[in-house]
Structure 1
């Protein structure tokens, strides 16, 4: 049975992960820029999903769709896909391929169809699967998040309890690459419960990967601002190659931070900025604008934080997008004033700001305002 993986830029690390899991089960996922073969697999998020909807609906073979959007809205996706994988795919995708190949009609746990949903019956043990094999990707060291930020899909898909891959398992995958780059909701939380640091375990990880060039605390292994400390930064400086720290402040307004259940304050972000500067790191800070209910005062406090960041760092700005499966899924973004849009444009031209501050689908799909996505 020929199984194709639809090549989508935003899902290339998912391809590495699921290629490895399927290889263990006897299947090879063949990358392709269009659907072909007996089965085509997709991983979509809420930004790019509309772009692939008609392609999936019209594909000649069997279609399997997973990813954040599919996990959050499985019955919606099942209207045009044959099968939808809910949540983690390492065990579920090979199970489903087995069922397709044998012609079994028994429901597969973790799979939805137009006839309904069969809930997952497991949580993935990370050590049961390599980070990647021949198809290289990032080293996923942790999964899940104990925080419950109202805009974020991560804890809703992967759970509120952190799971960590063992150092031995990480090292086995790291031996395949020269540079070690990690995937984790909070890099400094490795080996911990996600609320109390265990920097001794982070250091043991660094020591074990001494043959690698280590990149830590930058995309896609960002950290939380309240976890940044003198001890943590000295550890990163001692063992890793990077001199940038990427963290999410999200808003400069404590009112907004409390409302979205972010779990830290404006003061934590300012303290993290000072610590980065004092240890010689460039801070790269995520900011979200347009939160529902964001007032002019809230926005001004965020802009004041932006001005603090760009004195010796960079801002990565996002315009709020309601994501399915989150508490803010049906919330409306607050429009951004034109003078702020112009300021962001100016900061981007000067190299002090990256990201987007317009409607996300238009930016990422290169759609004009007149295009209708169907």
Structure 2
């Protein structure tokens, strides 16, 4: 049975991980620029899903769809795809391929038009390689203990953090000259995500051989985790001159609504620590939140201006994602003064992202899926 992966640039890291998992079970996945027989795999998010829906529905082959959109909207996607892998795919996808090949019913964790039975497993990261012949970023941690209203991560991977062992990370990182990681919070490595274990972070960083980029995309950190100790670890062991973290809002009231788990003071402290130690802060913000007042939006704009005096800001306009508490929210329009200031900062090269068009923002930056 031939198995193909539909090439979608925003899902390249998913391809690396799932191709490696399938290889463990004897399935060699090739890439294709369209549906191919016998089986074609797709990984979709909520922006690009509409681009591939008709292609999948009309494909003259078996179609398997996964990814964040498919996991959150599996009933919808099962209406035009043969099979939908819900959540983590390392165990479920090879099991599904074996079931198709042997003419058996799909395993738990797979939805079809006939129904869905949830998976009865959790993937242990050391059980599967992060990549094989197709190189990708090394995923060091999966899951997040926080429940931010806009984020799909804890809904896809759970709220219990799971870590790849240092030996396995070092083994795969050795294949890169420049080493970057996938993680929801780099400084939370080895911990439960709330009570940090910087001793384990240090142990990992001191084992790596190469130019290490830690606390930068695609493995940012949280602002309350930025301390003198964590900053010094980066300065002593890593090559990056930037530290990337999410503020999301300049209003404590909004942060509480979002269940972010940190305050504006935490963000300001993280910015100051970066500047005092010679690191450039790169800070994410979300505008257009439905419970954001004019004053809340102005407070966020003030924080953006503070960041951009010596750092960079990455601006997002809220996109309600399926499966999250804000999935049915209506984004709030931006104030004219907000648009004016953001436009000026963008022309000066102080901010990136898009606060008007989701697709511009998404396709300029490739997230891990």
Q: Report which stretch shifted further, 344-353 or 279-288.
A: 344-353
C-alpha separation in 2, matches of 1:37 and 1:154: 32
The whole-number CA distance in structure 1 between the counterparts of 2:292 and 2:121 is 39
The alpha carbon displacement at 1:134 in A equals 1.2
RMSD of Structure 2 on Structure 1 (CA) = 1.2
Task: Say whether the 8 Å CA contact 2:317–2:355 is kept in structure 1.
Answer: yes
Residue of structure 2 in register with 1:283 after alignment = 281
Q: Which residue of 1 aligns with 2:241?
A: 243
Alpha-carbon distance change, 263 to 175 in structure 1, aligned in 2, over 3 angstroms: same
Determine if contact 2:141/2:164 at 8 Å carries over to the other structure: yes
Distance 1:365 1:257 in 2: 27
Whether 1:122 aligns to 2:121 is yes
Describe the superposition over 1:165-224 as per-residue Cα deviations: whole angstroms up to 9, x where unpaired.
000111121122222100000000000010011111011101111x22101000001000
Q: Does the Cα contact within 8 Å between 1:51 and 1:365 map onto a contact in 2?
A: no
| Selected match of 1:227 from 212, 225, 228 | 225
Whole-Å separation in 2 of the counterparts to 1:107 and 1:25: 16
Residue 349 of structure 1: how far off its partner (Å): 1.7
Alignment of 1:321-340 (within 5 A): 321-340=319-338
Distance 2:274 2:7 in 1: 37
Q: Distance in 2 between matches of 1:362 and 1:305?
A: 23
d(CA) in 1 for partners of 2:352, 2:309: 15
Matches within 5 A, 1:1-374: 1-104=1-104, 106-209=105-208, 211-361=209-359, 364=362
1:22 touches 1:94 (CA, 8 Å); kept in 2?
yes
Q: Which moved more, 1:259-268 or 1:167-176?
A: 167-176
CA contact (8 A) 2:100 2:106 kept: no
**Alpha-carbon separation, structure 1, partners of 2:334 and 2:7:** 34
C-alpha distance in structure 1 between counterparts of 2:128 and 2:359, whole Å: 33
Deviations 1:209-253 (A, max 9, x none): 1x2210100000100000000000000100000010000000001
Aligned residues between the structures: 364
More displaced 10-residue stretch of structure 1: 243-252 or 47-56: 47-56
| SS of residue in 1 equivalent to 2:215 | coil
SS at match of 1:99: helix
Query: Any runs of at least 4 consecutive aligned residues in structure 1 with deviations exceeding 4 A, and if so which?
Result: 361-366
CA offsets, 1:102-137, max 9 Å, x none?
111x24110000111111110001001111111011
Provide the secondary structure at the position in 1 that maps to 2:235: helix
TM-score under structure 2 normalisation?
Answer: 0.97
TM-score normalized by the length of structure 1 = 0.95
* Residues in 1 aligned to 2:216 and 2:350: alpha-carbon distance in whole angstroms: 17
**CA gap 1:242/1:322 in 2 versus in 1, 3 angstroms:** same
Superposition deviation, residue 364 in structure 1: 4.7
What is the CA-CA distance between 1:20 and the residue it aligns to? 0.5
Contact residue 316 and residue 361 of structure 2 kept, 8 A: no
Which residue number corresponds to residue 372 of structure 1?
none
How many Å separate the matches in 1 of 2:31 and 2:239? 32
- TM-superposed CA distance for 1:345, in Å, is 2.2
Say which SS state the counterpart of residue 121 (structure 1) adopts: coil
Q: What is the CA–CA distance in structure 2 between the aligned matches of 1:350 and 1:68, rounded to whole Å? A: 34
CA distance in 1, matches of 2:51, 2:294: 34
Contact 1:133 1:173 in 2 (8 A): no
2: distance between equivalents of 1:188 and 1:363?
26
Runs of 5+ consecutive residues of structure 2 not aligned to the other structure: 365-369
Alpha-carbon distance in structure 2 between the residues aligned to 1:37 and 1:115: 23
Indicate the SS of the match to 2:247.
strand
Q: Is the alpha carbon distance of 1:226 and 1:364 closer, same or farther for their aligned partners in structure 2, counting shifts above 3 Å? A: closer
Shift of 1:313: 0.3
